[in-house]
Amino acid sequence: MNVEFMLNGRKVSALIEADDSLYTVLRALGMYSVKCGCETTNCGLCTVHMDGKAVLSCSVPAARCAGHEITTLEGMQDEAKLLGSCLAGEGAEQCGFCAPGMMMNVFALAKENPHATDDEIDAFLAGNLCRCSGYVSQRRAVKKYLSIKAGEVCV
């Protein structure tokens, strides 16, 4: 079957199987920031935005995406640059494998709760697993990013 949706602001059309996940289709469309880690909906690696909300693309049926707006990290490069520099500055990244999924969830957090406290950051990002840099430095980086966005800190 054929499915049409908006991908990073552009209309795309893809030939899909009935049981394809959004993740599979995004990879086929060259969105390599989207990765699959756990296959059990736990790791957050495959996070993208669907109509502005962070979802796990490994579990969203591709057929359900018809007419919806999908955003991946490829479509948020300016934001990614800023958050990426905060992550690097706080030593919050080693292998970087979890970063795209985590960053997409941070963008969702920034929209929903731009002045999030430490506890709120931890709770919001609980579904983004990282196995190398650790969560304390990530939290510092996210706080810095939110402060810059709020105009409280200069870049």
Partner 1 sequence: MAKYKNYVLARSIEEAYELNQKKSSVIVAGNMWLRMCGMNKQTAVDLSLLGLDRIEKTQDGFVVGAMTTLRALETDTALNDAFGSVFARALAPIVGTQFRSTATVGGSVYSRFGFSDVSALLLALDAEVVLHQRGVVKLSEYQLEAWDRDIITHIRIPGGQRASVQSVRVSGTDIPTLVCAAAKSEKGIRIVLGARPARAVIAADGLKLVDAQNIHIIEEIAGRTAFGTNLRAGEAYRRRIAPVLMARAVKGCMECEAKEAAEDEC
Ligand X SMILES: Cc1cc2nc3c(=O)[nH]c(=O)nc-3n(C[C@H](O)[C@H](O)[C@H](O)COP(=O)(O)OP(=O)(O)OC[C@H]3O[C@@H](n4cnc5c(N)ncnc54)[C@H](O)[C@@H]3O)c2cc1C
What residue ranges bind ligand X (CB under 6 A)?
40-42
Q: Which does 118 bind (CB under 5 to 8 A by kind): partner 1, ligand X, none?
A: none
Q: Which does 126 bind (CB under 5 to 8 A by kind): ligand X, partner 1, none?
A: partner 1
Handedness of CA 111, 51, 10, 62 (dihedral sign): positive
Compute CA distances 130 → 59, 100, 127, whole Å. 20, 11, 10
| Residue range at the interface with partner 1 (CB under 8 A); choices 7-15, 25-33, 72-80, 118-126 | 118-126
Q: Which does 60 bind (CB under 5 to 8 A by kind): partner 1, ligand X, none?
A: partner 1
Instruction: Give the nearest distance from C-beta 147 to partner 1 in angstroms.
Output: 21
Q: How many helices (H) and strands (E) does the chain have?
A: 5, 5
In angstroms, the CA 155 to CA 152 distance is 10
In angstroms, the CA 87 to CA 77 distance is 15
Angle at 120 between CA 151 and CA 112, to 5 degrees: 60
Q: At what angle do helices 135-149 and 77-89 cross, to 10 degrees?
A: 130
Q: Which does 56 bind (CB under 5 to 8 A by kind): partner 1, ligand X, none?
A: partner 1
Site map 40..79 versus partner 1, x via CB under 8 A = xxx-x--x-----xxxx-xxxx-xx-x-------------
| Cβ distance to partner 1 smaller for residue 64 or 150 | 64
3-state secondary structure of 36: coil
Instruction: Give the nearest distance from C-beta 135 to ligand X in angstroms.
Output: 20
Instruction: Give the nearest distance from C-beta 96 to partner 1 in angstroms.
Output: 19
Q: What are phi and psi of 16, to 5 degrees?
A: -125, 160
Q: List residues near partner 1 by CB under 8 A.
A: 1, 18-19, 21, 39-42, 44, 47, 53-56, 58-61, 63-64, 66, 105, 108, 123-128
